[in-house]
Amino acid sequence: MYLLGFPLLIIPFAIYNIVALILAQPDTIWTTEAYSVPMTSGEVWKLTWEDIIVAGSILLLWVEVIKSTRIGVRAIIDHVLSMVLFVAMLVEFLLVKAAGTSTFFLLLIISLVDVLAGFIISIRSSQRQVEVENTAKI
């Protein structure tokens, strides 16, 4: 389980950067229809690449929250790396023109939730790990 100490939200961050910074027209790529689903109501639900990356990030956030319930050195490293990822995303959002989109902002908020949930869950679970030694002698 080598991925336990690795922040999984770096995956959508990397995908976004590859598309936004390397490809020629990232705006048209993100809003392009990836899949369409005919609904029973007669409406056609159009799924864009923006929707897919945000939904995938939310699923990865769920995994990250589950990972944050662990205790130990690997969990601390995971929290620190998640914080570094959040700071990198925040700096990129503020300074890079291609990252100034609603999609990237949602990825940034998902990363913030990961950082906050990770630290809060770790603190709450560590409070229950306190052992009291019986000092009474028989």
CA distances (Å), origin 96, targets 3, 21, 52, 104: 29, 9, 22, 11
Is the per-residue pLDDT at 87 higher than 70? yes
Q: What is the pLDDT of residues 13-64, one digit of tens each?
A: 999 998 888 876 666 777 888 899 999 998 999 999 899 999 999 999 999 8
What is the distance, to the nearest Å, from the Cα of residue 93 to the centroid of all Cα atoms in its chain?
15
Q: Give 25's contacts (C-beta < 8 A, 6+ positions apart).
A: none
Distance CA 53, CA 13 (A): 9
Q: Are 82 and 118 in contact (CB under 8 A)?
A: yes
pTM confidence score: 0.81
Mean of per-residue pLDDT scores for the chain: 84
Q: Give 129's contacts (C-beta < 8 A, 6+ positions apart).
A: 71
